[in-house]
Structure 1
Amino acid sequence: MFKPWERFHNWFHCVCVVTFDIELGQTIEAIYPSEDGSGDQEVLTEEDKTNICYLAFPDSNSSCIGDTNFFIRIRRTTPMKLTDFQIWYNARSPVNLQASSDYFYGFVHFRQVKDDTLPRGYFQKSIVLLSPMPFVSLFSDVCSIIAQEVFDKDFSVLTKACKEIDLWTQPRPLSKIKETITLPLLGTSLRVDIPHETRRFLTHYILNDPSRGIQSSLQCSKFEMDAFQKFSFLFSHVQLLWELVLTCEPIIVMTSSPVICSQMVYFLVSLINPLIYFAEYRPYFTIHDSDFKDYTSKTNTVPPAILGVTNPFFTKTLQHWPHIINLDKDVSGHSNKLKKYTSNKLMDSTPGFYTQYKPLLQKDKSFSKKLTKGQRPPQAQMTMFKQHIQDLTESFLHPLERYIQSKSMPLMKDINPFKSPRPNPFDQEEFLADLSKPGGLLTSKTKGDWVNLYKRFFKSPNFQGWYDQKLKDIQQKLTELHLEKLSEEDFKVWVKDKKEVELIDMIMNIQNKLKEIFFSETNARKENVHRKLKDCICDIRNALPLDTQSFLKDIDGSEF
């Protein structure tokens, strides 16, 4: 039995309606589901609400007539404790798609239309969907579907949409490619593929809208497709951009439109899929952000981050950033093709890619020609581009994965059943030495200075984030191997010379170890280990005094 709004919160945190008040400025008009109906937890802190208000409208909305749809990312003022379901989900999904306890992913649909009956002469409102899940393409479309229905009809549609979402199935990762989750929404049906961690990261969904006669198979949303088409002029620089993002170099994206800046930032962080970008990134950043001083200060080292900004004020305050992409609002035409600059001199409003960085790897010129000269449909072009850039990332990760597998795991014979095993540390110098050996770790055919690229990567948050994730995976595997070895011990013999406190400690230790692998996928081998360990707990318990046995009668691992 689900609690009220439990299934809604598996997908979204809440939906906000933000309006422009003539006296108060931007303010949250309503939160759905209502705070009274969404549980004991406060929906949003006052600081969260303030941040959302400033990010819900374009910096300068005078030219944004009609509908504007963009993506934001907000650092939560108070980290959220993940639910049991979200922990289960994160254990099975690719790291790129995992629920975050520290950030809201926000999806904004802003409408501005002339209305002489209102004091300012314009109707100005935003619908903002907040989620711990980074489903950027899907949720951008969901936000657009809901907002258009709300603005075209009335706000009772929001309640209806929330109730429909509360009937959605859980966002479970799927191990089979042709499996989908069906999500009905206001007459539209979304069939979504959320890949399991064991699958490649190419995801898709099918949009079926009987009321509008739409039925199409999408490898991406309009949000992602727009980004690909708008930034095709950057394909000649894509490998340079990939290196900058991979090594967490600070990048500013400047433009007059929150749509373009959020799409560009998303385009950049997606360049290193399936590696997640672990440094800070803000698809739309304003002068009201609580981190504003940290990013604009010229006395401190520029932090590793990617920021999308639209306020002209940033043109001078962020001159000290080493990499700046300055875009026109209309970047789709060849007239706006950006040039790579060789120095970061004082920048004016001229569009350009300002950087002094020289790529360490040689450019794949054949791919650029293949992509730009092909006569394929846009979706096929984008799929080919995504596959190429993903292959580049995987070729970079391959030596790291091989090193981790061969060096980090201790041998089974060296695992002591009565001592928790630890992974061997990552030796960067050893890795780099192995990389350069003939027949060593490096398998990519791309030429260039791979050693220095890895050195730059090791200094970045991306390496630390990737390595921390690998350590969790290794520790999980070690725990399972340790339990397997522990289950083979004869505890009827082991207990003979042990004190009572040692026996109780061992029971609790085995029980805690079982909890650690509770979320692992089950199979016959693990079930056999679980059964043996329950027998071990019973053997240890039987060696205790009767009164202690009575106290511990329920601790036999049966719940596992």
Structure 2
Amino acid sequence: MAGTKEEPLFHREKSPDDGPQSPTMLPWDRFSNWLYCACVVTFDLELGQAMELIYPSHVKLTDAEKANICYLSFPDSNSGCMGDTQFNFRIRQSPGRKPGNKSFISINKELPVSIQGDNAHYCGFVYFRQTKDKSIRRGYFQKSVVLISRFPFVALFSELISILAPEYFDNGEPSLEAACHDIDQWPAPCSGETVNLPIFGTVLQVRIPSRSDKVLLGQVTNKSPVVPMIPAHVILPSLCEVDIFSGFQSILPHIQMMWELVLTGEPLVAMAASPSVTSSTVQALISLISPLKYCSDYRPYFTIHDSEFKEYTTKTQAPPSVILGVTNPFFAKTLQHWPHIIRIGEMMTQTPKGFNKLKKASSLKTLDSKPGVYTRYKPFLNKDKAILKRLIKGIQTKRPVEAQNAILRRYFLEITQSFIIPLERYMASLMPLQRNISPHKSPPVLRPFDIEEFLKTVEHSGPQLTSGIKGDWQGLYQRFFRSSNFEGWYKFRQHEVNQKLQVLHLEAICEANLLDWIQDKQEVEIVDLILRIREKLTFATNNNLVVNMENVNKLQKHLQGIISSLPEDLQSVLKS
């Protein structure tokens, strides 16, 4: 099999037509900025789903990773997915794997937090084909092309696999090799830039979001200039955005409750007839709280063969904080003890009867149960009936899905921002005053987050200042504080604020007259200052995007001046 060779599939000399390339850049370096590998999974009569090819061939997957990819690359047999089916999944990386390369780490930290990749999981993007074929003993041709990446770029990679896979099915291995060759020429994802990504004569154009983007009512500011149009262009409106309206159309009255459940990290199961529906639903769920990052585990498509099956379905402990997308009827019984189950139905052209009713979780017996939300959960916030009326009117007047989706996305962005603003305001109050930052002392630290102190601020300066939705906002915050979403948000903001304090401290050192200050100081104090400046230079190197280069030069001059003022024997020690 091609996937078992040790050498890369192709090597080539650098052409004069190539873009700028680092002298140390090796084949596949640019490919790995986007994808980890591409796989082909086939059905073997003796083995079942089996890995047929892995590109590039030097990429290593553990046996557990291969098994998970194989099982998740085919719809469950009960799904009856004839023709072509697209969906996505997410798996754990095997323990002991090294973090992504320096390029991945650098790219990742400049992306908005909600779409960053992580070093613990791979995302898989599947294009499955099933057709009748009398020449095959089983009577069917069944095969999947899969793209594996550390990045959750759902919109981009779904579009990419829809172009790449049909070419493979028509032309075989050479087309997959050609596709990998194209991707290996792509520029690195550069936050804030619009990039052109050629694949098989088509060019995908997409803007890479940046952490510095200002998101306001669904519009992104700080956009980079649009790259000139070229033939065969496909312009993607987003790197990761998914259609949330289609995913929730059959449970529209409960979408606000879905937002609460995701925000507070509640265990959720999304059941549907096909992996296309479950994966799009799970992706829609985690995007509801954007720009907050969903920090618990999520599996857009989950099967009974998954290596975490026992961990997630055990009845000996409470269900974990995870969102699962399942299609196998077996799960209707296995996960009946879960507190929140969503049954997703087909797209609607009119509002069905009984549309507003919640169902008890215990009433879900089979996967054939009616679409709806099976839960005993009581929302903290009052239902916003205006948004529901607007969307139902849109269904009745056949408003385009794109418009319905935009309405819904803007609504959830507004409610999430209303929830975040008081948290950000309180976080700012924990910052030490700038006048307390001294070049001659260690930088001050952020005061700890006091939940009780924060909750006292909600009554007068809570979300009600920016949102018309009434209800128990305090209760919602208390539940949020027990979730990994709060833990993730706080850890990230704590890092950002401490980084800001380090920058302010660095600037204070730069502006101080240190040569005057050391005149009456003991050598031990001066050495301590030198070590502090060196720490700041290390910080500047590791955080070059937030530190002004002019300040780095000032620090180096300070360092040289101070060392030069010391006795020669001490100078030689400090310079060594």
Provide TM-score, normalisation by structure 2: 0.86
Matched, 1:164 2:187: no
Match of 1:536 among 545, 558, 568: 558
Q: Is the 8 A contact 1:106 1:129 kept in 2?
A: yes
Q: Following TM superposition, by how much is the alpha carbon of 1:342 offset from its aligned partner in structure 2, in angstroms?
A: 4.5
Q: Which amino acid aligns with 1:22?
A: L
Question: Aligned with 1:476: secondary structure?
Answer: helix
Alignment of structure 1 residues 204-283 onto 2, 5 Å: 218-219=236-237, 224-225=242-243, 228-283=245-300
* Structure 1 counterpart of 2:340: 323
Match of 2:158 among 140, 149, 167: 140
Matched, 1:356 2:376: yes
Q: Which amino acid aligns with 2:170?
A: D
Q: Is the 8 A contact 2:206 2:238 kept in 1?
A: no
Matched, 1:424 2:441: no
Q: Which amino acid aligns with 2:518?
A: W
Question: Aligned with 1:70: secondary structure?
Answer: strand
Quickly say closer, same or farther: Cα 1:483–1:188, change in 2 above 3 A: same
Q: Following TM superposition, by how much is the alpha carbon of 1:290 offset from its aligned partner in structure 2, in angstroms?
A: 2.2
Q: Summarize deviations over 1:57-95 as a string: whole Å, max 9, x none.
A: 112167111111001011111344233333332332210
Quickly say closer, same or farther: Cα 1:222–1:534, change in 2 above 3 A: closer
Q: Is the 8 A contact 1:325 1:354 kept in 2?
A: yes
Q: Which amino acid aligns with 2:206?
A: V
Q: Which amino acid aligns with 2:133?
A: D
Matched, 1:369 2:389: yes
Matched, 1:437 2:460: yes
* Structure 2 counterpart of 1:188: 202
**CA RMSD, 1 decimal:** 2.9
Counterparts of 1:246 and 1:190, CA distance in 2: 33
* Structure 1 counterpart of 2:7: none
* Structure 2 counterpart of 1:473: 496
Matched, 1:23 2:46: yes
Quickly say closer, same or farther: Cα 1:346–1:62, change in 2 above 3 A: closer
Q: Summarize deviations over 1:100-141 as a string: whole Å, max 9, x none.
A: 211111101111111222232221111110111111111111
Alignment of structure 1 residues 44-55 onto 2, 5 Å: 44-55=61-72
Q: Is the 8 A contact 1:108 1:143 kept in 2?
A: yes
Matched, 1:87 2:102: no
Q: Is the 8 A contact 1:255 1:327 kept in 2?
A: yes
* Structure 2 counterpart of 1:128: 146
Q: Is the 8 A contact 2:78 2:328 kept in 1?
A: no
* Structure 2 counterpart of 1:284: 301
Counterparts of 1:389 and 1:207, CA distance in 2: 33
Q: Following TM superposition, by how much is the alpha carbon of 1:237 offset from its aligned partner in structure 2, in angstroms?
A: 1.3
Counterparts of 2:34 and 2:155, CA distance in 1: 14
Q: Is the 8 A contact 1:26 1:53 kept in 2?
A: yes
Counterparts of 1:468 and 1:154, CA distance in 2: 47
Q: Which amino acid aligns with 2:385?
A: K
Q: Following TM superposition, by how much is the alpha carbon of 1:521 offset from its aligned partner in structure 2, in angstroms?
A: 6.5
Quickly say closer, same or farther: Cα 1:455–1:384, change in 2 above 3 A: same
* Structure 2 counterpart of 1:69: 86
Q: Following TM superposition, by how much is the alpha carbon of 1:463 offset from its aligned partner in structure 2, in angstroms?
A: 0.5
Q: Give unmatched runs, 5+ long, in structure 2.
A: 1-21
Q: Following TM superposition, by how much is the alpha carbon of 1:297 offset from its aligned partner in structure 2, in angstroms?
A: 1.4
Worse-superposed segment, 287-296 or 107-116: 287-296
Question: Aligned with 1:106: secondary structure?
Answer: strand
Q: Summarize deviations over 1:330-387 as a string: whole Å, max 9, x none.
A: 4546569866434332422312310111221122212222222135432122112111
Question: Aligned with 1:110: secondary structure?
Answer: strand
Matched, 1:96 2:120: no
Quickly say closer, same or farther: Cα 1:7–1:55, change in 2 above 3 A: same
Q: Is the 8 A contact 1:188 1:208 kept in 2?
A: no
* Structure 2 counterpart of 1:393: 416
Q: Is the 8 A contact 2:422 2:462 kept in 1?
A: no
Q: Percent identity?
A: 45
Counterparts of 1:518 and 1:316, CA distance in 2: 55
Worse-superposed segment, 388-397 or 332-341: 332-341
Worse-superposed segment, 357-366 or 390-399: 357-366
Q: Following TM superposition, by how much is the alpha carbon of 1:43 offset from its aligned partner in structure 2, in angstroms?
A: 2.7
Q: How many residues align?
A: 536
* Structure 2 counterpart of 1:198: 212
Counterparts of 1:74 and 1:336, CA distance in 2: 38
Counterparts of 2:39 and 2:328, CA distance in 1: 24
Q: Is the 8 A contact 1:206 1:218 kept in 2?
A: no
Q: Give unmatched runs, 5+ long, in structure 1.
A: 36-41, 555-560
Quickly say closer, same or farther: Cα 1:115–1:392, change in 2 above 3 A: same
* Structure 1 counterpart of 2:18: none
Quickly say closer, same or farther: Cα 1:107–1:505, change in 2 above 3 A: farther
Quickly say closer, same or farther: Cα 1:282–1:293, change in 2 above 3 A: same
Counterparts of 2:139 and 2:252, CA distance in 1: 42
Q: Is the 8 A contact 2:246 2:347 kept in 1?
A: no
Matched, 1:518 2:554: no
Counterparts of 2:514 and 2:51, CA distance in 1: 63
Quickly say closer, same or farther: Cα 1:68–1:10, change in 2 above 3 A: same
Question: Aligned with 1:473: secondary structure?
Answer: helix
Match of 2:436 among 395, 414, 422: 414
Q: Summarize deviations over 1:489-516 as a string: whole Å, max 9, x none.
A: 443343764446x655543442332332
* Structure 2 counterpart of 1:494: 518
Q: Following TM superposition, by how much is the alpha carbon of 1:50 offset from its aligned partner in structure 2, in angstroms?
A: 1.3
Question: Aligned with 1:231: secondary structure?
Answer: helix
Q: Summarize deviations over 1:11-35 as a string: whole Å, max 9, x none.
A: 1111111111111221111111111
